[in-house]
Amino acid sequence: MPLSTEDVKKVARLARLAMSETEIQAAHAQMSSIFGLIEEMQAVDTNGIEPMAHAQDLAQRLREDVVSEVNQRELFQSVAPQVERGLYLVPQVIE
Amino acid sequence: MINSSLKQLSSQLAAKKISSVELTQLYLDRINTLNPELNAFITLNAASSLAQASAADDRLAQGQAEVLTGIPFAQKDIFCAKGWRTTCGSKMLETFIAPYDAHVISQFNNAGAVNLGKTNMDEFAMGSSNETSYYGPVKNPWNRKAVPGGSSGGTAAAVAARLCAAATGTDTGGSIRQPAALCGISGLKPTYGVVSRYGMIAFASSLDQAGPMARSAEDLALMLNVMAGFDERDSTSLQRDKEDYARNLEQPLKGLRIGLPKEFFGEGLSSDVGNAVETAIAEYKKLGATIVDISLPNSRLSIPVYYVLAPAEASSNLSRFDGVRYGHRAAEYNDLTEMYEKSRSEGFGVEVKRRIMIGTYVLSHGYYDAYYLKAQKIRRLIAQDFVEAYKHCDVIMGPTSPTTAFNLGEKGDDPVQMYLSDIYTIAVNLAGLPGMSIPCGFGSNGMPVGLQIIGNYFDEARMLNVAHQYQLATDWHTRQPGGI
C-alpha cells in the first residue's frame, strides 16, 4: 500500500511534529523507500506463529503495592521548562 | 600507562605506583589535546571526575578497593548520571541535568570507578555513523575522514584513542558491536535483561541493552562483572545468580564448535572484511575449534522487522518529550498543541523524526496487524533460527559489519543504505542473544575489521573465553591508531 503525502501529514499530526511542506515531501520520499524495504515481510508465511514481544518469554514481575519512592518534587521540577508553586505550567486548555 | 589493561591499572593503583587522581588527570589531559578534533565527548566535568578520583584514592588507602576502584571510565551520554548534563545526543536534552543515576552508573560508582565524561552518540541512539548527533559527528581515530560507527561512536573513538581506560555503550541493533568493529576495539552486548535499563534513556525497550566497550575481552569481563545484575527498577531485569564473567577466560578452546551462517558470507560482504574474518576462523581452527556450517534463513528479514519494531517502540518512548516536565520547550506558541508540535520539531533531529513517523504509522489504526504484529511474528522465526543453530554449535561467528568504516557523509541522505550497515548485528537483538565484536585485522583501506561472536542465551562467559584465547594468540586488539 503506497504511502501518500496526506498519510505523512496525518502521521506528523498524530506524532505532534510540526513539519513544513518541504519537510513533508522529503519525509514522504524517504518513508516510501523505507516501506519498500519493510514490505519484504508480507511475503513471509506467519500462519500459526505467536508474536514475540520480548526476548525472554517471561511473565511481568509483580511487587507488593507499597511506597518505593521518596518525594523529590523540587529536584525533578528543577529541570522543567516552567513551574510555579510545584505545578508544571502549560498553555491554558480549559476556558 | 594508556595501554595498560584494567587488571594492570588495578594492581598499579593497589601498589600505589600511581594514584587515581594522577590517572584521571592523565586522561583529562589527553582528552583536552585530542578531543577537539575527535569530538568523542559531549560533556566533561573535570572537578567532579577528580573529586571521585580523590575519594577512590581514600578508598584504596583504606584497603577497601574493588577491582575497578580508581579507574577512569567514560560513559555513553544515554545514561543518566546525577548532576551531569545528559543529552542523549539531542538538542531536546541540551540543558538536562540528570536528577538521578542510571543503574549502570550506580554500579560503577559503587565499585569506586571514576566517571571521566559523557561520550558522543547518535541522537537517541538512532544511527550507525554518529552523524545524527546534535553535537557534531565523531571522527574515527584511525582516519579522521571516516565515521566511528554508531550509535556508541563516541565511546568507540574514546577507547580506540586511549582517552579513557574503557567505556560503556548500548546496543539496540548493533550500536556496541558495529562501532567497536569500525574503531578496532572489543565490545559486548549481553543477553537481553542481564544489565538493567533503569536510567538508560529508552529507544526501543524490547531490544535496548547496555554493555562494556574496551581494548580486550579480559577488560570486558571485569566491566560486565560490575554492570550485570538484577535490578527491581527495570521490569525486564532478570533474576539470576551473580556470576564471574572472567571465570572461563583461561580455558582452552579444543573441541569448541563454531557455527558459520552461510547468510553472513554472501552478497553485500566486502571481500577485505570477508578475508580478515576467514583468517580469524583459520586461527580458531589452529586453537582446536571445529567448524560447523549452519543457516539462519530468516536473518535476511531482520532489517525490515527491526525497522518496524524499533521505530514503533521509539515513537511510544519518545512521546514523553513534550516540553512540559523536562527537555526543550519552544519559545513561542499559541496553545498546547502548538507547544507540543513546535517543541518536538525543534528538539528532535531529522533521523529521530523519521523514526517517530514510521513508528506512529505502523502503530496507527488499520496498520497494526500488517506491520507491528507481522514483524513480531517474524521476530520469533528469526529467534527460532538461532535455537535450531545452537543444537549444532557452541558459538556463531561472522563479520560484525559488511564493510570497514565509511567516510563522513558517504551514505548521504539515503537512510536505507545506512540501515543496511547493521545487517549482521540486528538479528541478535531481535533474538535477545549476547553478541560481541573483537578486532581481527584490517581492510584494504587500512581500517579495522571486527569479528562478530554470537553466543547462546547467558553464554557471555564462554564468549569472553573464546575472544580472550584469540587475543592471547593474536595482537590485532593491541594495535593503535597513529597520532594518538
Express each pLDDT in B309-348 by its tens digit.
999 999 999 999 999 999 999 999 999 999 999 999 999 9
* CB-CB under 8 Å, A44 with B360: no
Instruction: Count how many pairs of residues, chain A against chain B, have C-beta atoms within 8 Å.
Output: 165
B55 touching A (Cβ < 8 Å)? no
- Given this model, what pLDDT does residue A1 score? 61
pLDDT at B116 over 70: yes
Is the pLDDT at B114 greater than 70? The verdict is yes
- Between residues 161 and 220 of chain B, which touch chain A (CB distance below 8 Å)? 191-193, 206
Q: Does position B18 have pLDDT exceeding 90, yes or no? A: yes
Q: Return the pLDDT at A2.
A: 81
C-alpha cell at A37: 524495504
Residue B143 CB-density burial (10 A; 0-12 exposed, 13-18 middle, 19+ buried)? middle
Contact A91 B339 (CB under 8 A): yes
Element (H, E) at B452: strand B448-455
Residue B151 annotated to the active site: yes
Cell numbers 578508598 label which residue? B59
Q: What is the mean pLDDT of residues B139-167?
A: 98
Burial B109-142 (b: 16+ CB within 10 A, else e): bebbbbbbbbbbbbbbbbbbbbbbbbbebbbbbb
Q: How far is CA B358 from CA B307, B341, B347, B411, in A?
A: 8, 17, 18, 20
Task: Compute the residue count for chain B.
Answer: 484
- The set of cell numbers assigned to B394 is 557452541
Interatomic CA distance for residues B286 and B146, integer angstroms = 34
Cβ contacts of A51 on chain B, cutoff 8 Å: 373, 376-377, 379-380
Q: Please tell me the distance from the alpha carbon of residue B87 to that of residue B125, in angstroms, as a whole number.
A: 11
What are the grid coordinates assigned to B132, written together?
545524527
The residue-averaged pLDDT of B236-241 equals 92
Phi (first) and psi of residue B435, to 5 degrees:
-145, 150
Query: B368: pLDDT confidence band, cut at 50, 70 and 90?
Result: very high
| Nearby residues of B405 by Cβ (< 8 Å), 6 or more positions away | B140, B142, B143, B146, B147, B148, B149, B182, B183, B447, B448
Q: Which residues are bridge partners to B114 per DSSP? A: B72
Averaged over B132-154, what is the pLDDT? 98
User: Which regions of B90-189 does DSSP assign to beta strands (E)?
Assistant: 114-119, 166-171, 186-189
Q: Is the model more confident about B484 or about B66?
A: B66
Inspect the interface and report whether the beta carbons of B415 and A30 lie closer than 8 Å.
yes
Neighbours of B184 (CB within 10 A): 30
> What three-state secondary structure class fits B453?
strand
**Digit-coded pLDDT (tens) for B240-277:** 999 999 999 999 999 999 999 999 999 899 999 999 99
Cell of B102: 542510571
